[in-house]
Structure 1
């Protein structure tokens, strides 16, 4: 008899036979519908931008530029993260008995920040000089020639000179990269070979003057490269050792191009061309050469950058406590993001202990602003300045300078609201002292820091360039 009252136990698999099923099609994201051009198939619930586990093999149409803009919008500024590290967490790191190394590094960094009026100006110029390499009247002439000539010989000669100039000015940095590559190789080699390689690394002159590369090249080509070749032939190690050797070779090519003789030949060949020699005078050449071979070892900006790099390295390794690792990671990512090929702005990080006030400032400069905010006239320079002053608060300033006239927007901490008129008087005094005049001025409390993309619409011009996806 049929089980009308469900008295007996139903057969297995028949529990839901009496239920009414809705006529709603199921959409499973783990089903790929077969493409048939002769009929319209139902959607499979997937999108090309879906990054779920089920669609991990779908093409990603987000471009590198889109990823850059997304990170730029979400990434905190380098100055705010640095201020957080030193203002808020410095005491806990110093008081921790397990972190004496990084605590001393941070204390040394704070000591190096102490500057007066003249030192602050020199520090700012040093930051600007290290951020922009190809500046000055000499390179302005080369740019005009490149834009105005159709001769491939002239362009190739200029490009060859620029390659030699870039290589010789980066001698010290490239050598440090070479040594770092070799140390990474030694860390991954067998002990006997690693000890032999480290002994050869010690022979390299890490303080060699710019252009004096022959001594180090003799050691690299005569001893280090044969050792690496022998090791690879014996072990057939195609893992991380080979990867670091490849990076070593790339840096070696750049280092070898930075000889003093090679740069001198490239410069003489460039000046022998009528298109260049007729427009360049001796003082321009002297300034160029002096700028290359000047002793930059004691430059405050470079020392500060190197010291901050040491702190970041130790912090990322957990020496400041793993609870602080994210702060160090944010500082590093912000620094790398501001050096992206998609960043058309000059970026500077200016830490200073000015008259007993610790300050971390970050500056973005567009030297050729052409957005809708600028009026007709000469060249317009636009700046965004963010600075955090200990025990005072966070400031933000947007300034447009054109034909000695200034448009300024200033955002100050809420605690300084009673001093609003005093701030305005002092700023007007500073502007007049520098032979400038205000076209417009606005000051109000800083509610929320502005993203860089909102201030510089020029960033979106990257969409019109060649773009790629990964």
Structure 2
């Protein structure tokens, strides 16, 4: 009995004062009233070392830094094209013979000298959502100097407009997902027709107004799919992706209109106000650019050959680009080939992963691909640009360099070899470095005067011109020195 009493006796006296938990104030997620528990580590602490990604040190994050150190990333698209040529039989590595249709599609991949600038502009427009007359107007207006109230209003407007545009892209992604599901479930005519019909409803202009009923219909249809005999692991992975894209839709259109009206009231000139309202109305009605333009990156890119939606991939990556559009259509055509071997399927998976992950947040550079055809010679050029090249001079301690634009061009010429050209543009002066195969070094070393004459009527001139042997394929981190210094980890623990 004594043992029982000892067990049931409270450990805390009933008369002890109970401390009340401090409740967070309205609007606070949580309250940090005891700041002594917030610890800031010293610069060399283990926590900071773990989260920093400064290249060349032992504590870097491998998954991030490997992208910068890998020389193949520098010519990723070129490698993709060669890999695709191998898959379809254009390279003499197997007994597969390419059809005339495949040959014609690959010929359409190349651009002529007169098409270079338009193609670069199309690829550049696809690199960001913040392109078009509307954003150009805001840049010009704010660049001329504006009061703080106008700047804050512009930031709020940009946030609202971007949310609206992301919502439009989300609905297009849902439609693409549903169309892919319809093809995947084609053995069931009833399910396939329902999915195709639902996809067309998501593409209608009044889809945002019908969203509640569309959500209900999509949930009902997904329950039917889950109970179908055709439901498998592949379909199971796709359904959550559709719901995720649907959740990205930004519904509060009143906020966008309100932010636009508030910004217009702050404009002093009546002409500026009318121009802004016209561009703003165009954005709300038609979006910034053609449907599907603008990059979207998804971490779920592994094993994509088993469930990739090529319509969505074309929307995301081509941006109206002839090169990217042709490349993705070639992928889609070959993917539908029933005789595709496992090895070829793995190569397609590699190409798709590359398309979805480059450019990405680990390579914050402008990025272009140009398959060129000139005078019977074919070449593949991949261009990387750092518009803030002066950052590299600051890292090296050279504060006199001024504003630079740093270009890196990798090009592979059929029958000749691989070249690397590096350019620093400082005002009207270009410092030029060409690295070429050893067997061509003597020829190109004699061409310095030709290089200088080639741009004498352009308004630019060459400063230093260096022509050396290409010792090895360089990585992004070897060329763009500031890439690893742009990311710092969280150094606070609670």
Deviation sequence 1:266-299 (CA, Å, 0-9, x none):
6732542416989957667767859956668999
Q: Secondary structure at the match of 2:384?
A: strand
Question: 1:202, 1:241 → 2: CA distance?
Answer: 16
2:384 corresponds to which of 352, 357, 364: 364
Q: In the TM superposition, what is the alpha-carbon distance from 1:265 to its structure 2 partner?
A: 2.8
| Number of matched pairs | 392
The answer on whether the counterparts of 1:115 and 1:355 sit within 8 Å (CA) in structure 2 is no
Residues 7-18 of structure 1: matches in 2 within 5 Å?
Answer: none
**Aligned pair in 2 of structure 1 residues 146, 95: CA closer, same or farther (>3 Å)?**
farther
Deviation sequence 1:433-470 (CA, Å, 0-9, x none):
321122322111222111011111221124424499xx
Larger CA deviation: 317-326 vs 440-449: 317-326
1:304 is aligned to 2:298: no
The answer on whether the counterparts of 1:386 and 1:394 sit within 8 Å (CA) in structure 2 is yes
Tell me the residue number matched to 2:116. Answer: 120
Question: 1:147, 1:392 → 2: CA distance?
Answer: 57
Question: 1:410, 1:262 → 2: CA distance?
Answer: 55
**Aligned pair in 2 of structure 1 residues 82, 195: CA closer, same or farther (>3 Å)?**
closer
User: Where in structure 1 are there 5+ consecutive unaligned residues?
Assistant: 1-60, 207-211
Question: 1:81, 1:134 → 2: CA distance?
Answer: 29
Q: Secondary structure at the match of 2:369?
A: strand
1:445 is aligned to 2:466: no
Tell me the residue number matched to 1:140. Answer: 139
Tell me the residue number matched to 1:157. Answer: 157
Larger CA deviation: 151-160 vs 383-392: 151-160
The answer on whether the counterparts of 1:316 and 1:329 sit within 8 Å (CA) in structure 2 is no
Tell me the residue number matched to 1:28. Answer: none
**Aligned pair in 2 of structure 1 residues 342, 385: CA closer, same or farther (>3 Å)?**
same
Q: In the TM superposition, what is the alpha-carbon distance from 1:255 to its structure 2 partner?
A: 5.7
Q: Secondary structure at the match of 2:130?
A: coil
**Aligned pair in 2 of structure 1 residues 308, 450: CA closer, same or farther (>3 Å)?**
same
Q: Secondary structure at the match of 1:442?
A: strand
User: Where in structure 2 are there 5+ consecutive unaligned residues?
Assistant: 1-57, 294-317
Q: In the TM superposition, what is the alpha-carbon distance from 1:205 to its structure 2 partner?
A: 8.0
2:361 corresponds to which of 301, 316, 341: 341
Question: 2:436, 2:262 → 1: CA distance?
Answer: 51
Question: 1:467, 1:128 → 2: CA distance?
Answer: 35
Q: In the TM superposition, what is the alpha-carbon distance from 1:129 to its structure 2 partner?
A: 1.7
Tell me the residue number matched to 2:437. Answer: 413
The answer on whether the counterparts of 1:404 and 1:435 sit within 8 Å (CA) in structure 2 is yes
Q: In the TM superposition, what is the alpha-carbon distance from 1:378 to its structure 2 partner?
A: 4.7
Q: Secondary structure at the match of 1:406?
A: strand
Question: 1:344, 1:276 → 2: CA distance?
Answer: 36
Tell me the residue number matched to 2:217. Answer: 226
Q: In the TM superposition, what is the alpha-carbon distance from 1:134 to its structure 2 partner?
A: 1.7
The answer on whether the counterparts of 1:158 and 1:270 sit within 8 Å (CA) in structure 2 is no
Question: 1:362, 1:147 → 2: CA distance?
Answer: 42
Q: Secondary structure at the match of 2:447?
A: helix
**Aligned pair in 2 of structure 1 residues 227, 249: CA closer, same or farther (>3 Å)?**
closer
Deviation sequence 1:279-335 (CA, Å, 0-9, x none):
957667767859956668999953432331233355567856544455544433433
The alignment's C-alpha RMSD in Å is 4.6
The answer on whether the counterparts of 1:363 and 1:386 sit within 8 Å (CA) in structure 2 is yes
Deviation sequence 1:23-48 (CA, Å, 0-9, x none):
xxxxxxxxxxxxxxxxxxxxxxxxxx
Question: 2:279, 2:152 → 1: CA distance?
Answer: 28
Tell me the residue number matched to 2:449. Answer: 425
Deviation sequence 1:123-165 (CA, Å, 0-9, x none):
1221112123324643535877999569976643331123224
Q: Secondary structure at the match of 2:175?
A: helix
Q: Secondary structure at the match of 1:69?
A: helix
Question: 1:110, 1:296 → 2: CA distance?
Answer: 25
| TM-score for both structures, normalised by structure 2 | 0.63
The answer on whether the counterparts of 2:175 and 2:199 sit within 8 Å (CA) in structure 1 is no
Question: 1:176, 1:396 → 2: CA distance?
Answer: 38
Tell me the residue number matched to 1:197. Answer: 194
Question: 2:379, 2:193 → 1: CA distance?
Answer: 46
Residues 431-470 of structure 1: matches in 2 within 5 Å?
Answer: 431-466=455-490
Deviation sequence 1:351-372 (CA, Å, 0-9, x none):
2333432222111111112112
